[in-house]
Amino acid sequence: MIFSYLLGSIPTGYIVGTLAGVDIRKVGSGNIGATNVARVVGKKRGLLTLIADVGKGFIPVFVAGRLGLSHTALALVATAAFLGHLYPVFLKFRGGKGVATALGILLAIAPIVTLVLMAVFAAVAVSSRLVSLSSIVAALAAPILLWSLSYPAVFIAMSAFLAVMIVVRHRGNIQRLLAGTEPRFGSRANSR
């Protein structure tokens, strides 16, 4: 769990932004996630951030699974990585929103469910061009899909926790969605 938290704490977006000469926390939305990185320093760097953030969730859970740990232990390792991304020790506990890291976690635990969630995300993203809305919808769908496919209760509870935290971390986005001011993907505006 300690390794998982520390891996989750690596602030990929901040590092990528710094290498591009930008403190990603001070521009755009101020978020260290892939969407803000893509908007501020380009789509390639945003994609790099996305892949690394997915890896932060996938790697510890995949390794824990290979070690034969119990479902409960896997859920705890997953939660530690997720919380590391949200509250990274390396950035004074001010991190991202956790969507990509949650994707990596679910990819390690439930690959088929993850493919369905990616399709849900893509459908909402294509129709709305709103990454925040797509993220929220996919996060909320995760525990429902895990439950409907009879995954262990501890994984359902874990994914429900991840979903709640993702929604909480998107509270500003939700306010802008309701006000009709949420920026659509593809704009390079200094959006929050």
* 186 pLDDT tier (thresholds 50, 70, 90): low
Count other Cβ atoms within 10 Å, centred on residue 67.
10
* 103 pLDDT tier (thresholds 50, 70, 90): very high
Residue 69 lies in a domain: yes
pLDDT in tens, 42-90: 999 999 999 999 999 999 999 999 999 999 999 999 999 999 999 999 9
Whether the pLDDT of residue 187 is over 60: the answer is no
Could you tell me what percent of the chain has a pLDDT over 90? 83
Residue 192 lies in a domain: no
| Sequence-ordered list of residues with C-beta below 8 angstroms from that of 146, at least 6 positions apart, any chain | 110, 113, 155, 156, 159
Residue 64 lies in a domain: yes
CB 8 within 8 A of CB 81: yes
Count other Cβ atoms within 10 Å, centred on residue 98.
29
Residue 70 lies in a domain: yes
Residue 126 lies in a domain: yes
Residue 109 lies in a domain: yes
Total number of domains in the chain: 1
CB 182 within 8 A of CB 174: no
* Domain carrying residue 85: 2-179
pLDDT in tens, 145-175: 999 999 999 999 999 999 999 999 999 889 9
- The rounded distance, in Å, linking the Cα atoms of 141 and 123 is 13
- The rounded distance, in Å, linking the Cα atoms of 143 and 181 is 29
Residue 167 lies in a domain: yes
Whether the pLDDT of residue 14 is over 50: the answer is yes
Residue 92 lies in a domain: yes
Closest CA to 117 of 97, 76, 146, 80: 146
SS3 state at 116: helix
* 192 pLDDT tier (thresholds 50, 70, 90): very low
pLDDT score at 81 = 98
